[in-house]
Chain A
Amino acid sequence: MNQTKKIILIVLFSGLFLLLDVLISPRLNPYYLQILIYCGINIILAVSLNLINGFTGQFSIGHAGFMAIGGYTSAAFTFYLGPKILETLFFPLWFSKPLVFVLGLLLGGALAAFAGLLVGIPSLRLRGDYLAIVTLGFGEIIRVFILNIDAIGGARGFSDVPKYTSLFWVLGFTVLTIVVVRNLVYSTHGRAFLSVREDEVAAEAMGINTTWYKVTAFVIGAFFAGIAGGLLGHYLQYLHTNSFTFIKSFEVVMMVVLGGMGSITGSIVAAVILTLLPEVLRPVKDYRMVFYSILLVILMITRPQGIFGVREFNWDWLKKIFSRKKAQAEGA
């Protein structure tokens, strides 16, 4: 796809999202809007984690830590530096505010990516289970550090974060995440990630710099997790480390595993299912986690590849369904 086509697509989609936001957000019950926004955020989380866990085969269960970094950093930026920037810039508010927001998000993502780098480095020497514990540990360490920084609320939480997140931004970043990860995976780099997953030693023997790819997976995955954290923070207007414990990390892992580690479509679908399910099960809220955990165990025993395995959504499927229907109609 050439450059102009890309730019036209971006402009078109942005316009579409903006339209959706302007039309839907004020009219929709805030509860449903919240669910939509959560779906988007969870999709970003699941897809970004899938890059690390599914495509590169590294077992990371500390994703919530990256989310926390992104969330707190972007919130600190918009809360402390935001007003000053808004004062000095000459642009009209409707332009500067989103600018500050995007800057904050990117900063959050960047810091999270840096954390991903730090986490990725020990991963060089560690195999599956150990890596899992180390990522879990990092998630905890990040949480403890945030607890100790009083300027961002410390143990009491960060309140009064400006409400910048809207449907437009969530849609935009969700699509961005999916596009970036998809393009990455379907490129030559993507092959390298997969080779690391399949057989690291063989890949190394083939001349692939497994270290570089493992670390890159962490960095990119962490970046998007950070963005998701920033979006969440600026929606809830309140951040607390309690929201970023390993329980949150497990929830994202569940989405990836349910959807199929190695399928972007799977992550998207599973993220949506696992966002809607708690709401549907709200009347039996107490049983929800018990149900989840049993589901996880049964899933692992019976169908460890998840719903989609490594398959992706394909336009061909639709064609197949339609051509089958046509054949049926003609046959009848």
Chain B
Amino acid sequence: MFRQRLTVVTASIFLLIFGCGKKEDVIKIGEYGSLTGLTATFGINTDRGIQMAVEKINQEGGLLGKKVVVIVEDDQGKPEEAATAVKKLINQDKVIAVLGEVASSRSLAAAPICQEAGIPMITPSSTNPEVTRKGDYIFRVCFIDPFQGDVMARFTYNDLKIKRVAILRDIKNDYSVGLANYFAEDYKKLGGQIVGDESYSEGDIDFRAQLTSLKSKKAEAIFVPGYYTEVGLLVRQARDLGIRIPIIGGDGWDSPKLIEIGGKALEGCYYSNHYSPDDPDPLVQSFVVEFKAKYGELPDAMAPLGYDAAMILFEAIKKAGSLDPSKIRDEIAKTTDFPGIAGKVTIDSLRNAKKPAVIIKIENQQQKFVKWMYAEEKI
């Protein structure tokens, strides 16, 4: 009995020590991302981008005279962990704003928490439209999936001249399900046919059953709006099964690991993305050079988007002239023509950014820029 009490007392002491934070005069920003797990490169590269932004801003003297500190939490790629991480950042670390996440499912889990707490959240690359609908404190600096689905539909139908497409979606992720639906809708409107629709779950390692089923549908391409780990694996299995048609996807493919996993099987595949390191724009190139010098590889889209999200947040804090989250929120909403690395950012009334997409082709196991795609003006 006594031993139990001793444990509880010791535990409480530990809690007090770790529970209280030291009071320092810094600006605390929270970041949550998938630093481990199946989509680890998303979190890691976004973090790299954010860290570069923080370094830059601190070199320039910080914000409002104070140093900027980013507190990073790993959500392991799990939505329930994202919710917990954000709660901790807001309640324990008392951050004034939150950056994250890449995957829409995790952003969706965290957004209601930020909204309720009145802490602005900027997601660098979640593309599911539901995310910003969670409340007026939630923003994004990238395009949304209705646009992305339309882009891929148009590219597939008009540019690749493909009329029959099968879909293989990841039902565990809102992003994948949403993007698959938007693609299908627009593709059919253009006159294309969706000849098959199968699903897998993030974390699956064997896709042969679904691929075999789709093979018999005689598609000319397979649309796989999933994340890079599963995509890499399934493209290889598709080729093993004798499926030679192009496999296409969305920005969830973007990772240095994609080609590492998929290898030669990815030859002739396409996907839509937020930016390309081949972009000759000097702003982009200077970022690419700096990133490569620091981390030894070319940045994928997550890094510049993370950088942009952080910079836009810092700009808003500067303009607000205070650490009051509601004032910061208002300034974020007013962002117009911000010169982001991954494109100019203007936050619209739905708190999304209208940006063009870029089509990437995989050739000789490298990602090559193909073309820019813009939103079509609906007459």
Contacts and interface: CB of A to CB of B under 8 A. Distances in A.
Interface of A: 29-32, 34-35, 147, 154-157, 159-160, 236-238, 240, 242-243, 269, 272-273, 276-277, 279-280, 282-283, 317, 321
B150 to A, nearest CB: 22
B109 A157 contact: yes
Interface string B312-352: 00000000000000000000000000000000000000000
Given A31-B91, A156-B172, A156-B173, A280 B15 contact: yes
Nearest to A270: B4
Interface stretch (B77-85, B188-196, B255-263): B77-85
Given A269-B4, A272-B8, A157 B80 contact: yes
Contact of A160 (B92, B112, B171): B112
22 contacts: A30-B87, A31-B88, A35-B15, A155-B173, A157-B108, A159-B112, A160-B112, A236-B80, A236-B83, A238-B83, A240-B80, A242-B78, A243-B80, A273-B4, A276-B15, A279-B11, A279-B14, A279-B15, A280-B10, A280-B15, A282-B18, A321-B1
A240 B79 contact: yes
A98 B177 CA distance: 35
A31 B93 CA distance: 11
Interface of B: 1, 4, 7-8, 10-11, 14-15, 18-19, 78-80, 83, 87-88, 91-92, 105, 108-109, 112-113, 171-174, 177, 201
Contacts of A154: 171
Nearest to A157: B79
Main SS at interface, chain B: helix
B116 to A, nearest CB: 8
B195 to A, nearest CB: 23
Nearest to A276: B11
Given A156-B172, A156-B173, A238-B109, A277 B11 contact: yes
B365 to A, nearest CB: 32
Contact of A159 (B7, B87, B108, B177): B108
B19 A317 contact: no
Contact of A155 (B11, B109, B113, B172): B172
Nearest to B16: A32
Contacts of A237: 83, 112-113
A277 B177 CA distance: 38
A242 B79 contact: yes
B105 A317 contact: no
Contacts of B10: 280
Nearest to B13: A280
A183 to B, nearest CB: 23
Nearest to A155: B172
Nearest to A243: B80
Contacts of B87: 30, 34
A286 to B, nearest CB: 10
A32 B87 CA distance: 12
Nearest to B177: A156
| The 7 A-B residue pairs with the shortest CB-CB distance in the complex, in nearest-first order | A155-B172, A30-B91, A276-B11, A280-B14, A155-B171, A156-B174, A240-B80
Contacts of A280: 10-11, 14-15, 18
B109 A159 contact: yes
A273 B113 CA distance: 28
B91 to A, nearest CB: 4
A276 B173 CA distance: 32
Contacts of A29: 19, 91-92
Nearest to A318: B1
A159 B112 CA distance: 8
B91 A238 contact: no
Contacts of B112: 159-160, 237-238
Nearest to B111: A159
A242 B80 CA distance: 8
A118 B227 CA distance: 38
A45 to B, nearest CB: 17
